[in-house]
Amino acid sequence: MENVLEIKNLNYKKNQRTILSEINLSLKPGKIIALLGENGAGKTTLMRVIAGVAKNYRGLVNVSGEAKDFKRKAHLSFTESLNGFSGSLKIDQVINLYEHLYDDFDREQFEQLFKFMRLSKNQRLSQLSKGMREKLVIALTFSRKVDLYLLDEPFSGIDSMARKQIINSLIRWKDEKATVLISDHFVNEITAILDEVVVIKNKTILTHQSAEAIREKNESIEDFYESLYQMEEE
Amino acid sequence: MFGRFFTVTLNGKVKRINLIVFWQIISTILLTFFTFFDLVHLRVNDRSVSPFLGGLEIFFSTAIVLCFLLYIMTCIDTERINSNESYRLIPLSDIKYYLGNLLSSVTSFLYFIVIEIICFVIFAGATYTLDQKFQSDVNTFFNRFDSPGFFGAPKDVRAVAWIAVNLIIFLILLAFLIYFFISFLNLSSRAIIDFLPGFPSKTFLTISRLFIIVLLCWIFSKIANFVGEFYQTPLDLFLTGLQGESLNLLALSNLGMLVFTLLFLAINLVLFTNFFEPNEKR
């Protein structure tokens, strides 16, 4: 089966600082993968490179066999913070924009997700709390029918109820063949739903393992992740 | 996808224009109304005018000012959309994105001009109907055209038409060239900033970017001076008086402007495609 994501020898520099170095990564379809790493490890940059918005990188990035930036964008859905839209826009207008801009936007699925997240369409973007905004972003992201979903720290700064709703929506609405890459620096939130774990450290990928293999060693994913950092400190 | 992106960005820009024109019309009507009931006394160019003519003159003056302001706002808005991550994620090539954004800006600006002309014609028609003095002044003005020999020799008419066409082309090219230069400053300064070593603070970064922009402007002023020795802009020709040979040079000069405009567009497309990342707002 063709890999949904294929990264070979990816290097990315900005302000004369290496942010990503010799990244090699392959992801199979239908998996939920955690991209773990401490703050500033390069998780968001890696996602931006995959999403085709970070420029001037070296190496090969393929999503569903497409290497060109704009072609990759058609096969992936990236949790974008919606900061590019005016705060005065009503949620309804944002939904219409998404529906208009993306061929693969499934309105029906969005309505279900929206109901599940208990959001209200009459509110303006600027009126949303951080948790509600994050839920809206997830609902919009998952309403597109694509091969790869990139969720960049979807649980940061939101309460446990909202986190549970997001995780449940992931389980319920993820297409069987679609791959989800979730970046985070907290592990315990998502361990139960993970198929694979990718740890990014020192600007490169430190390890890429299946969650099952980690669990077979009688180790929790949280302990496994923490042990990688403790080893370095020792 | 190009069409959809164009429509979405155009809708946003047109919405703002509608709001601007709405307030312009409301303020003109209110001013005319207050003048009519002697609540306000309008004086234009140090002379008293009738409420309707005063309203018309106010509308015309604000149209000129708004045209200039809207041009600047459109330039800024276009650059803002260029760095908008929400839009940059749509599956559209960078070249099409830049051109789509540009095209929607041009269309919105043309829309503004058309709306202003229509509103002016309506206001002028109302003034013509309701203001007897204005009506007679307009009739006198147009009667002059009926007098034999008013237009002069056909050769002169052709010369005036030639100048008018070239003037319009020059103004359009100038509007594009100024925007492309603003865009170039934005794109190139960001590309240079991204290449330079990291900055300790946002203030330092802003100052550095401003310094780069000033430096680029200085370099381009030197280049412009050098090019100016070989090339006369249409503006130079207009200022030196248009006679004989310089009339023929107008088209050539506009062609030169077109080349510079396309050159800036090409540079901007290269910068935008290869170096310009959208803003990362979290």
Residues B110 and B164 in one domain: no
- Residue of A189, A184, A135 lying closest to A160 (CA atoms): A189
Closest chain B C-alpha to A134 CA, distance in angstroms: 11
Residues of A whose CB is below 8 A from B89: 51-53, 73, 78, 80
Residue A42's alpha-carbon distances to A12, A30, A124, A200, A201, in angstroms, are 10, 24, 32, 7, 8
Residues B244 and B206 in one domain: yes
Residues of B whose CB is below 8 A from A17: 197-198
**pLDDT bucket at B245, cuts 50 / 70 / 90:** low
Q: Are B264 and B184 contacting, i.e. CB atoms less than 8 angstroms apart?
A: yes
Give the C-alpha separation, B14 to B112, whole Å. Answer: 8
ipTM for the whole complex: 0.85
Residues of B whose CB is below 8 A from A70: 91-94
Give the C-alpha separation, B64 to B107, whole Å. Answer: 18
Give the C-alpha separation, A129 to A207, whole Å. Answer: 35
Q: Which amino acid is at B47?
A: R
For residue range B101-125, list pLDDT tens digits in order: 999 999 999 999 999 999 999 988 8
Mutation target to probe the B interface, by most B beta carbons within 10 A, among A101, A102, A105, A140 is: A101
End position of a domain, from candidates B114, B146, B178: B146
| Residue matched to tokens 């020192």 | A202
Q: Are B31 and B58 contacting, i.e. CB atoms less than 8 angstroms apart?
A: yes
Query: What tokens appear for A121 in the block?
Result: 């369409």
Report if residue B106 sits inside a domain.
yes
Collapse the DSSP code of A58 into the 3-class scheme (helix H, G, I; strand E, B; otherwise coil) and give the result: strand
Residues B104 and B164 in one domain: no
Closest chain A C-alpha to B89 CA, distance in angstroms: 7
Report if residue B68 sits inside a domain.
yes
Mutation target to probe the A interface, by most A beta carbons within 10 A, among B4, B89, B195, B274 is: B89
- Residue A226 has, within 13 A of its CA and on its CB side, a CA count of 8
Report if residue B48 sits inside a domain.
yes
Report if residue B133 sits inside a domain.
yes
Q: Are B135 and B44 contacting, i.e. CB atoms less than 8 angstroms apart?
A: no
What does pLDDT average to over chain B? 85
For residue range A140-173, list pLDDT tens digits in order: 888 888 999 998 888 776 777 777 777 877 777 7
- B103 Rama sector, left if φ>0, alpha if ψ -120 to 50, beta otherwise: alpha
Report if residue B185 sits inside a domain.
yes
Structural domain count of chain B: 2
- Residue of B47, B66, B44 lying closest to B56 (CA atoms): B44
Query: Tell me, what's the pLDDT at B58?
Result: 84
DSSP A170-221: HHHH--TT-EEEEEES--TTTGGG-SEEEEEETTEEEEEEEHHHHHHTT--H
Is B276 in contact with A55 (Cβ distance < 8 A)?
yes
Q: Are A48 and A79 contacting, i.e. CB atoms less than 8 angstroms apart?
A: no
Query: Tell me, what's the pLDDT at B177?
Result: 92
- Domains within chain A, CATH numbers bracketed: 5-233 (3.40.50.300)
| Residue matched to tokens 């009738």 | B50
Query: What tokens appear for B142 in the block?
Result: 């147009």
Report if residue B1 sits inside a domain.
no
Residues B141 and B159 in one domain: no
Collapse the DSSP code of A104 into the 3-class scheme (helix H, G, I; strand E, B; otherwise coil) and give the result: coil
Q: Does B200 touch chain A (CB under 8 A)?
A: no
Residues B223 and B174 in one domain: yes
Residues B117 and B186 in one domain: no
Report if residue B115 sits inside a domain.
yes
The CA dihedral of A166, A93, B112, B256, to the nearest 10 degrees, is 30
Mutation target to probe the A interface, by most A beta carbons within 10 A, among B86, B98, B192, B275 is: B86
**pLDDT bucket at A15, cuts 50 / 70 / 90:** confident
| Residue matched to tokens 């998502």 | A190
- Residue of B67, B50, B63 lying closest to B126 (CA atoms): B50
- Residue B147 has, within 13 A of its CA and on its CB side, a CA count of 7
- Residue B256 has, within 13 A of its CA and on its CB side, a CA count of 15
- Residue of A144, A82, A138, A162 lying closest to A108 (CA atoms): A144
Query: What tokens appear for B273 in the block?
Result: 């495609």
Distant-in-sequence, close-in-space partners of A193: CB < 8 Å, separation ≥ 6: A32, A167, A170, A171
Q: Is the pLDDT of residue A188 over 90?
A: no
Is B91 in contact with A53 (Cβ distance < 8 A)?
no
Q: Are A201 and A172 contacting, i.e. CB atoms less than 8 angstroms apart?
A: no
Residues of A whose CB is below 8 A from B276: 55
Which residue of A15, A74, A78 is in closest CB contact with B197?
Answer: A15
Mutation target to probe the A interface, by most A beta carbons within 10 A, among B85, B212, B271 is: B85
End position of a domain, from candidates B146, B168, B197: B146
Domain that holds residue B254: 154-274
Residues B104 and B233 in one domain: no
Query: Tell me, what's the pLDDT at B41?
Result: 65
Residues B14 and B102 in one domain: yes
Closest chain B C-alpha to A191 CA, distance in angstroms: 25
What does pLDDT average to over chain A? 84
Asked whether the CA dihedral B221, B223, B225, B230 is positive or negative, the reply is: negative
Is A100 in contact with B7 (Cβ distance < 8 A)?
yes
**pLDDT bucket at A112, cuts 50 / 70 / 90:** confident
Q: Are B84 and B279 contacting, i.e. CB atoms less than 8 angstroms apart?
A: yes
Please give the share of chain B, as a percent, with pLDDT higher than 70.
Answer: 89
Strand bridging mode A196-201 / A204-210: antiparallel
| Residue matched to tokens 């045209």 | B67
Residues B169 and B210 in one domain: yes
Residues B132 and B225 in one domain: no
Q: Is the pLDDT of residue A133 over 80?
A: yes
Asked whether the CA dihedral B189, B190, B194, B198 is positive or negative, the reply is: positive
Query: Tell me, what's the pLDDT at A227?
Result: 80
Query: Tell me, what's the pLDDT at A16?
Result: 85
Residues B106 and B217 in one domain: no
For residue range B44-75, list pLDDT tens digits in order: 565 666 777 878 888 888 999 999 999 999 99
Residues B172 and B136 in one domain: no
Residues of A whose CB is below 8 A from B91: 70-71, 73-74
**pLDDT bucket at B150, cuts 50 / 70 / 90:** low
Residues of B whose CB is below 8 A from A130: none
Give the C-alpha separation, B260 to A56, whole Å. Answer: 27
Is A82 in contact with B86 (Cβ distance < 8 A)?
yes
For residue range A171-185, list pLDDT tens digits in order: 777 788 889 998 887
Report if residue B175 sits inside a domain.
yes
Is B274 in contact with A56 (Cβ distance < 8 A)?
yes
End position of a domain, from candidates B103, B122, B146: B146
